A and B are shown apart, each in its own frame.
Chain A
Amino acid sequence: MKKVIVGNHAVSWGVQLARAEVISAYPITPQTQIVEELSEMCADGRLPARFIKVESEHSAMAACIGASVAGVRTFTATSSQGLLLMHEMLHYAAGGRLPVVMADINRAVAPGWNIWTDQNDSLSQRDTGWIQLYCENNQEVLDTTVQSFKLAEAVDLPVMLVLDAFYLSHTSEPVDIPDQADVDTFLPKREARLKLDVNDPRAFGALSPPDMYMELRLRQQEAMEQALEVFDAVEAEWGERFGRRYGAIEPYRTEDAEIVLVTSGTVTSTARYVVDERRARGEKVGLVKIKMFRPFPTARLRRALAGIPRVAVLDRNLSPGRSGIFAEELRAALYDLEPARRPGLDGYVIGLGGRDVTPDTIGECLDRSRAALAAGRAPEREDLWVGVKP
């Protein structure tokens, strides 16, 4: 069934198809439509789930954690300040190895107050131990929502699926909604390996002294390392059933490219357009979309980018005092390449706080990297902020 729906409702439909059993959430723009729709789905019986209308995002995540450790499928959604308020509990979900799924609508962080998109909210949760998946369009949002539960429950790790404020959350696109029966076959009811059980009483999350703690973290790291291949398997099965795959990363027209853009989120669609346009003019440019940010698909990115002369990373985020965060991650990932095959890398900061990223913005990044390539040196810092008012 095809429907024209906004990205937020693509999440809600995905959660309904996944048959989440406990949902707990707190309103925040631009996420609110997700939980409004889910409230209606719960109220009219389309989704037989308990919806706990908590008094804060912190309690939303705490309630999801309680429900998840009691063995059921759980979901929440948030944005920006709400995600930051959850931060402590994000560590609890991941360290507790609980497969909570959350949608984060990428929204800039205050001050100044800003409800528009950038990625600093989700990227500042980088080290909490959540799998992070960035989506490009509403179909991908719906597909990723359902897949996230399967992935999370396979590796016992929480998954955050991420979409841009307004460009996806409030933008209507045609979305193919799979049949419930097919989704049920793909994603059966959750069977928790361990859960709170009065017939098998255990303590979860207890004090772990220095002689215990490190091994718990190693298990967590191993699960994260497995998550990439499990994600592939989940996508392969989804692709077989529903005909759509996205990939942890997606190279686009990178063959023989001299400059490759690296993007995430909706900037990718604009970048595809720019790449096609430039290719039509004979310019050797390409694109790599990063969907999976954690675990970071290091080896794949190395393979995709080795030997490319210049890489232009488009970051809708900033680690103040350093640079864009995807650029930093990529620099580290490419460091081990032999110098002859290691690309020059320019990290562009664009589109913060929802500033429009147009084909011209991306074209400017490409032109500056082309100039840098020709000159054999990196652009100056002021040339790495594109779309800034003079």
Chain B
Amino acid sequence: MSQILIKDRIPREELLDSGHLACPGCGAPIAMRLVLKALGEKTMVALPACCWSIIAGPWPQSSLRVPLFHSAFETGAAVASGIKAALEMRGDLETTVIAWAGDGGTFDIGLQALSGAAERNEDIIYFCYDNEAYMNTGVQRSSATPWGAWTTTTPAEHPEMRPKKDMLAIMAAHRIPYAASASVAYPDDLVEKVKKAKGIKGTRFIHILSPCPPGWKIADEESIALARLAVRNRVFPLMEVENGERWRFSVDHPGEPVEPYIRRQGRFRHLGDAEIAEIQRAVDERWKSLERRVQHGT
């Protein structure tokens, strides 16, 4: 039933071709495919260094049927600002300009440029596909890496000891017209959010959880199942924030226990019951805080 619904709601037009270079099971091309379906062919992409720099294909090839500019790691929002300004000068007010960055390019090295663009309310949509570490360079921790996770720079003997940065709240604090979190496991929700964002002027930010089989140490076919669990167990709630104030949940989050989600990922293999209980406690606490935001605004 729901499959029929998705087919009806999501445009059939394909703007991402097969032959892209993503690993099997990667969430990133799924995210791009859905986003471009929602935006249509009048879209331009500013692409800072990230896994997608590879996925798009080497020169002179491109797996995208929209124009694409590959740029430096920290420049997604600034390059997109420049493209948008140029289109305005050319009289093209129709084309949507997006920045498409990973978590490293968003949470870490690109945060300054993103904050600048958001503060100026540049008329762009900034997408962060978040695989929770520097996956393209071989799984190093970023400030999107969750507490307790193994990466090559947070080895199991000394795993990540800081909580994931609250990127959605940071963007909401810029009072941009629209910020949202989305998931490759909820394509209809994702497409609806992108369509909604397309109709809004100003800076829009969409944060997409995008599993990475080699980085999370999961089987290729587990990506979507785990991304779905992360929503159901409230690890990655799907939300919308309008003008930095009106927060809402966009799907049901039944609050299943986090343990199966953690146990199924090799990156958490070193964690014992006590650590998993700690993750559960942190998720519950953050959920309460998000509920307060939904009820009372910021």
Chain A contact residues, CB within 8 Å of chain B: 21-22, 24, 49-50, 52-56, 58-60, 62-72, 74, 88-89, 92, 196-198, 200-209, 212
- Of the listed residues B53, B72, B86, the one surrounded by the most CB atoms of chain A closer than 10 A to its CB is B86
One of B86, B95, B112, B116 near A66 (C-beta < 8 A): B86
Complex CA–CA separation, A62 to B124 (angstroms): 15
Whether B13 sits at the interface, judged by CB under 8 Å, is no
Complex CA–CA separation, A99 to B95 (angstroms): 23
* Distance in Å: Cβ of B266 to nearest Cβ of chain A: 29
Residues in B with CB closer than 8 Å to A53 are 120
Complex CA–CA separation, A334 to B131 (angstroms): 56
A58-B75, A212-B58 are known contacts. Are A71 and B90 too (CB-CB below 8 A)? yes
Interface residues of B, count at CB 8 A: 47
Whether B282 sits at the interface, judged by CB under 8 Å, is no
Complex CA–CA separation, A52 to B86 (angstroms): 11
List which B77-110 residues lie within 8 A (CB) of chain A.
Answer: 77-90, 95
Whether B71 sits at the interface, judged by CB under 8 Å, is yes
Closest chain B residue to A209, Cβ basis: B58
Complex CA–CA separation, A52 to B97 (angstroms): 16
A92-B72, A206-B61, A207-B59 are known contacts. Are A63 and B78 too (CB-CB below 8 A)? yes
B69 touches A66 (CB 8 A): yes
One of A54, A203, A207 near B78 (C-beta < 8 A): A54
A70 touches B86 (CB 8 A): yes
B72 touches A89 (CB 8 A): yes
B72 touches A88 (CB 8 A): yes
One of A52, A56, A198 near B82 (C-beta < 8 A): A52
Complex CA–CA separation, A88 to B74 (angstroms): 10
Complex CA–CA separation, A209 to B53 (angstroms): 13
Nearest 6 CB-CB pairs, A to B?
A66-B82, A55-B116, A70-B86, A203-B62, A63-B82, A62-B78
Complex CA–CA separation, A58 to B109 (angstroms): 12
Residues in B with CB closer than 8 Å to A200 are 67
A62 touches B64 (CB 8 A): no
Known: A55-B113, A72-B89, A205-B70. 14 other contacts (CB 8 A): A55-B112, A56-B113, A64-B82, A66-B46, A67-B83, A67-B86, A70-B87, A89-B75, A198-B67, A198-B95, A202-B67, A207-B54, A207-B57, A209-B58
Complex CA–CA separation, A89 to B74 (angstroms): 10
A59 touches B113 (CB 8 A): yes
* Distance in Å: Cβ of A72 to nearest Cβ of chain B: 4
One of B62, B74, B122 near A206 (C-beta < 8 A): B62
Residues in B with CB closer than 8 Å to A52 are 81-82, 85, 120, 122
Residues in A with CB closer than 8 Å to B77 are 59
Complex CA–CA separation, A69 to B79 (angstroms): 10
* Distance in Å: Cβ of A21 to nearest Cβ of chain B: 4
Residues in B with CB closer than 8 Å to A198 are 41-44, 66-67, 95
Residues in B with CB closer than 8 Å to A62 are 71-72, 74-75, 78-79, 82, 113
Whether B56 sits at the interface, judged by CB under 8 Å, is yes
Residues in A with CB closer than 8 Å to B58 are 206-209, 212
Complex CA–CA separation, A196 to B59 (angstroms): 15
Residues in B with CB closer than 8 Å to A197 are 67
Residues in B with CB closer than 8 Å to A71 are 86, 90
A50 touches B89 (CB 8 A): yes
